[in-house]
Structure 1
Amino acid sequence: MGIHGLMSYVGEHNQFFIDLQLRNTKIIIDGNNFFHWLYFESNLNLQYGGDYDSFTDIVHKFFETLSVCHIYPYVVLDGGSDLADKKLVTLKERARDKIQRAHSIAGGGRGHVLPLLTREVFKQVLTKLEVPFVQCFSEADRDIVSLANHWMCPVLTLDSDFCIFDLKAGFCPLSYFQWRNLCTCKGTQDCYIPARCFSLERLCNHFNHMNKALLPLFAVMNGNDYINLPALETFFSKVRLPVGGSCGRGRKHIRIQGLLNWLSHFATPPEAIDNVLKYLKKHEREEIRELLCSSMKEYEQSDVSLEDFFQKGTYECQVAKKLKLPQWVLEGLEKGNLSPFISDALILRRTFLHAQVENMQKPSAHTVAQPIRQVIYGLLLNASQVSEVTSPPVHSNKMPIVHEFDRSQKTLKKSFVSATRLPVKFCEDHLPLATLAEVPKSDRLTLLLETLRVKTSILQTIPSYLWVPVAVTCYWTRYSEPKVKLHHLQALLLGMVFGELHRTRTSSDPEVFHVKADKMVYDQFLKWKEKKVQKLLDLDTAHTFCQWQCCLQMGLHLNQLLSTPLPEPDLTRLYCGTLVHRLCQELKSTHTAENLLISSPEMSQLYCDLLQAVKSTVPPDFFQEITRKTKSCKEKKQASHSSGRVYQSTCYVRSSAIV
């Protein structure tokens, strides 16, 4: 949620906070709020589609710091939109705003737009670090409050709604959580993180010992993500709010302070509501009373016990129960194995496709992945058992429709996208969603690969953990518009090799062979990553790689929905936007990187296998460039023998290739 202007207002009042030396405690982390804040606070590049490797390192450092201080984190992530879709207006506004910010970033201006796969990367890091996390059925705020009050521990967030919730141990705003400034207690070896905790009692005491039960009414009247009543503007235009004291940041803060002062004169919410309604037209009063009261309930604790999930691996949600969703779907959503995209499509038949830093003059990068999404919709809706409360019955002669919100130029557009009619095995007798996971793995794999237009045979030379990215890359190469160029493909595959180099260098597995030459190549990649790229973003290149991320995102969702017939890929080192753009720029203009992998035969072989796998799915003349073959691998093998190195490869590449 979020209350307009409140976080900046309370931030100007030190008296609302208590200084803490945080250690030896549980802490509940508002997951969505946290990974947004951490990515932006770390000043990672936002133009090139995500430096997921750098973000991974920062997340590692954060949780290592908590561990040193014996702080035990529990991460709670938002799920899909609520059943009533009460935030639809807010979601549209935010989507429009993200499009404008993405456009600004693309032109070298300011703005924050989270790279597309950040959430998935974050979940993978949590899993590797064994940090417990749960994905709620819808928005997580009320569930977080219930868990934090049950455990009597603070919440870590930057969401202003937590200034309203009655938290027994308060909440620590991320902006005051100095995790990079680790301190030691005097006379001991114990470490702590300096932090500040917001105190609801201090806020209420500041405003004439206000009844804290009035704060939800304040939130609703001031305007939050769920409600913004134009009728209340009549109240604000007529009432004289007692501002009192100094108020720093213009009209928003003046209204906040004045409204809190005004509400503090009433003993209870009903009394305050009666006095609000006096300023409204008689025929509006009862409707507004009902809206105010129902909206205030958003600040009550939920009946969901997340403790059950952290102790037993599952929890009960009454809303989900009423929908009669299959148990495997519920568990997949709770554990984060299925994305909120899946629940929105299944329950609301509506999805938002997130804006990226791309060429706004071209069709949205999400367009290329629409056929994959249509297969997902077919699996979810063609014979789904969702309650008729949320979805009309599906007729066999007409495919279901999903409403997609996506970018069209620099505006938000709603499209009607039909589900794909699936092969007989997946739709005969209206195959229930409940039994989808029971379909033989070979059939699920066939559907996945047919959707990506890839044959199993081309993956055989590739490590299994790269099968999904390679299959997606084959799809992307064939269907992206404008057409993928050879230097785009080469740069992308080299980025995957960079990720593999990191895996081999940092692996504790004794079976992973560590080669000194690999370190030399890895260090060279790091130098390339750190080099400054051209100041102006190459919009066409950015657009091409955005399309690849869209294909990968939907390929991941489909693989998950089909109960992972292919291994889940490690996203944390798969794509580094800064490096890939830098390599792409260099490959486009010169051949200086041509022998980048020559000192590492194993990585050269991997690169050649990746390149050959993708090129085998397109016509021989697909990459329309003036070509000349570089040294054949046989010649290079002879050359490497003469210098004391062994080099084995079977790939032939064009003039700008790196081998």
Structure 2
Amino acid sequence: MMVPYTTCEFEADDEIAAMARYLNCPVLSYDSDFFIYNVQYIPFNTLEIKPKQVILNNDKVLVMECKIYKVEYLVANFGGLKEELLPLLATLLGNDFVEKRVFNRFFSQLKLQKNEPKDDLYTNMPINLNDNEIDSSEETDNEECDDSSSTSSNKENTDSDLQNLNNNHINGMPEWFAEYIRLNKVPRFYINLYTHQLYFFSPQAEDYSDEDASLCALPILRYVFDILTDFSYENFIYVSRENNSNYKRLVIDKEYSISRLTETSFNELNNEQLKKYFYHFIKQKMPLLDYETIELLPSNFQLYMISILWWISNCSVPLSHIHSLIITYIFLDAIDEKIGTFRGHSFFNNKHSKKLEELKKRPFVPASIEEELYLNKHKIQYEDCLIAGSVLLKHFEIDDSIRKRPKSYDVRKIHSFAQFQSCLLQFNGLNTLCGDPFKSTIYSKCYNGTFIYNMALKLENQDDPILFIEQYLKGATSVLTFYKSLCHLFNKCLTTMNLTTVKWSNRKRRSRRKKKEDDDTKFIVEGFESHVVI
């Protein structure tokens, strides 16, 4: 979308405020901290998403109504409040920094009626302090000043302790690792894997009566862990899901590991050496993968295809699911670029009704790849995209049959695609870690869950998905030629690697009796600032 953006290592409030002042624009957020910054602030809940037409300089324009808060308005509404005191106000309001008990003595002095409404708490705070309490407070302050002189003698030891603490923190996350995170050389979802030897599975829609959909990608994750830690650990902890939706810890040991390519530390590897690590993994785990065939694919589909092939080799995958992924990629990456990002089926067909009627009268030209493959999406014709869009756009909408009968929703299909998403995620993570030997996946250009599910339903009973799609998109010749070219290369990889797909069965798995919750599912993970209990 060509929208400029930036990222921060930690909480970005200060940077957001600075950028807002520089650009002279409001901050759209729901963080009350922006009340205190010298910026205009629009709370999310005041923004009207539906555009409203207004007259501006004699022109009709669409606007979104909202409420903008300014510091001067805030200060003017509270007598005695000054702008320089606003940071203190933020400290008092924020529960992240100051525990409530710190203010127990303060709140104990508030004289409120028993049934005092909460809304009046900030406007009715009579605090009565007698002279004895003031004197006592002053004496306490003096005592604290006296104590400070004795405490100062321990300053050197305290500084030493703090220095040791800082060193330990640096040892926990070396400067090079922090820099790699900043530069996106290490994906952020691997931070815990490196610092705590711990990885939490990615929760997603799947069949909870079946095993964790992410398990098929564990060999990739283990290799990532080995690269990050220079192959120096025996195991790490993977937090997984049990069949009854409870959580469990899995010890991922070296049974998933492969040999180390070089003895050079990860942070000392150059880009070419890093890329060799990716190819080394493929050579060990997918030895029959044909790189020459992969390189014929569009650059943004190569890693996607490798993920598909891994998915097939490690899971039971129906052929219809593969073709639904290919069609989805073609629509999101190629057709959308030609016709625009329409998602309303009826609106699209009404808008282009005359043009579509004209296109139906064109002579039929069959899609053929006998002479050469058609792998340049830019050669796909606009008119063919209109025909394909008029047929396929409805698959971006949830079918009415599912709304009426929610139980008809096939969770096993969702589970299968969840397995694929796990493979795609880990391959993209490994690809980033290894210096991007392949173009990273742009998920919005290749994956839409609703569309994929609906296409899988459409294709599940088809023995020959290619023949069906040819009839389904009849007339969209260049789209079909592109599709058949991708399918040809996929089938070539499938044959070379001796992989097979499975036939989809409509039989539903018997529901399993829910197991009694085991004490082992409640675990404590050490190594954080506080214990994490799940």
TM-score, structure 1 length as denominator? 0.53
Q: Secondary structure at the match of 2:338?
A: helix
Residue 379 (structure 1) aligns with: 227
- Encode CA deviations 1:298-335: one digit per residue, 9 max, x unaligned: xxxxxxxxxxxxxxxxxxxxx98995433xx6565335
- Is the CA contact (8 Å cut-off) linking 2:193 and 2:225 kept in structure 1? yes
Flag structure 1 segments of 5+ consecutive residues without an equivalent.
1-124, 248-253, 279-318, 384-395, 627-659
Distance 1:236 1:615 in 2: 72
Any conservation in 2 of the 1:135–1:335 contact (CA below 8 Å)? Answer: no
Q: 2: CA distance between counterparts of 1:321 and 1:183?
A: 58
User: Is residue 186 of structure 2 the alignment partner of residue 325 of structure 1?
Assistant: no
Q: 1:342 aligns with which of 181, 187, 190?
A: 190
After TM superposition, give the deviation of residue 510 of structure 1 in Å. Answer: 11
Cα offset, 1:559, TM superposition = 0.6
Contact preservation (8 Å) 2:335, 2:389 = yes
Q: Contact 1:200/1:212 (CA < 8 Å) preserved in 2?
A: no
Instruction: Please name the residue that 1:540 is paired with.
Output: 412
Measured in 2, the distance between the counterparts of 1:437 and 1:422 equals: 21
Distance 1:622-1:484 versus aligned 2 partners, 3 A rule: closer
Match of 2:234 among 385, 389, 399: 399
Alpha-carbon deviation of 1:471?
A: 0.3
Q: Secondary structure at the match of 2:66?
A: strand
Match of 2:208?
360
Q: Tell me the amino acid that sits aligned with residue 176 of structure 1.
A: T
For 1:139 and 1:193, locate their aligned partners in 2 and report how far apart those are by CA, in whole Å. 28
Distance 2:112 2:420 in 1: 55
> Equivalent of 1:470, from 291, 302, 305?
305
- Cα contact 2:206–2:414 (8 A) shared by 1: yes
After TM superposition, give the deviation of residue 565 of structure 1 in Å.
0.4
Give the C-alpha shift of residue 353 in structure 1.
Answer: 3.3
Give, in whole Å, the separation in 2 of the partners of 1:373 and 1:488: 24
Map of 1:67-466 to 2, 5 A cutoff?
A: 125=1, 129=2, 131-148=3-20, 153-163=25-35, 166-178=36-48, 180-181=50-51, 186-187=56-57, 193-199=64-70, 202=73, 209-210=80-81, 211-220=85-94, 223-224=95-96, 242=112, 254=118, 257=119, 260=122, 323-326=173-176, 333-334=181-182, 336=184, 338-382=186-230, 396=232, 398-399=233-234, 401=236, 403-408=237-242, 409-418=244-253, 421=257, 423-426=259-262, 428-429=263-264, 431-439=265-273, 441-447=275-281, 450=284, 454-466=289-301
Task: Work out the CA distance in 2 between the residues paired with 1:243 and 1:525.
Answer: 65
Counterpart CA distance in 2 for 1:167 and 1:194 is: 22
Tell me how far 1:491 sits from its aligned partner.
1.9
Deviation of 1:531 (Å): 6.3
CA distance in 2, matches of 1:147, 1:320: 29
> CA-to-partner distance for each residue in 1:54-99, whole Å, 9 max, x for gaps?
xxxxxxxxxxxxxxxxxxxxxxxxxxxxxxxxxxxxxxxxxxxxxx
Task: Report what 2:434 is aligned to.
Answer: 562
The percentage of counterpart residues that share the same residue type is 17
Inter-partner Cα distance in structure 1 for 2:181 and 2:257 = 25
Quick check: 1:135–1:333 contact (8 Å CA) kept in 2?
A: no
SS in 2 for 1:378: helix
Q: Which residue of 1 aligns with 2:456?
A: 584
Give the corresponding residue for 1:491. Answer: 324
- Tell me how far apart the structure 2 counterparts of residues 411 and 466 of structure 1 sit (CA, whole Å): 36
Change in 2 beyond 3 A, CA 1:527/1:372: same
**CA shift digits 1:455-483 (9 cap, x unpaired):** 42442442232110010011112213xx2
C-alpha contact 2:339 2:386 (8 A) present in aligned 1: no
Question: Would the aligned equivalents of 2:220 and 2:427 in 1 still touch at CA under 8 Å?
Answer: yes
Q: Deviations over 1:204-254 (max 9, x none)?
A: 66566455344334334xx45x7776x67988997767599996xxxxxx3
Kept after mapping to 1: 8 A contact 2:327/2:483: no
Is 2:446 the counterpart of 1:574?
yes
Q: Using a 3 Å threshold, how does the CA distance of structure 1 residues 355 and 167 change in structure 2: closer, same or farther?
A: same
Mapped to 1, the partners of 2:413 and 2:483 lie a distance apart of 25
Could you tell me whether the CA contact under 8 Å between 1:134 and 1:334 is conserved in 2? no
Quick one: distance in 2 between partners of 1:263 and 1:132?
47
Measured in 1, the distance between the counterparts of 2:206 and 2:335 equals 28
User: What is the SS of the residue equivalent to 1:364?
Assistant: coil
Q: For 1:634-653, list aligned pairs within 5 A.
A: none
Q: Which amino acid aligns with 2:261?
A: K
Distance 2:427 2:4 in 1: 26
Distance 1:520 1:527 in 2: 13
- Give the distance between the partners of 1:418 and 1:242, measured in 2 at CA: 61
Q: Greater CA radius of gyration, 1 or 2?
A: 2
Shift of 1:169: 1.3
Q: Which amino acid aligns with 1:219?
A: L
User: In the TM superposition, what whole-angstrom CA distance separates every residue of 1:622-649 from its partner, at most 9, and x where no partner exists?
Assistant: 42479xxxxxxxxxxxxxxxxxxxxxxx
Deviations 1:256-288 (A, max 9, x none): x4664588969xxxx9xx99xx9xxxxxxxxxx
Please report how far the alpha carbon of residue 581 of structure 1 lies from its aligned counterpart in structure 2 after TM superposition.
Answer: 0.9
Asked if the contact 1:351/1:405 (under 8 Å) is kept, the reply is yes
Offset at residue 548 of structure 1 (A): 1.1
8 Å CA contact 1:497–1:606 kept in 2: the answer is: no
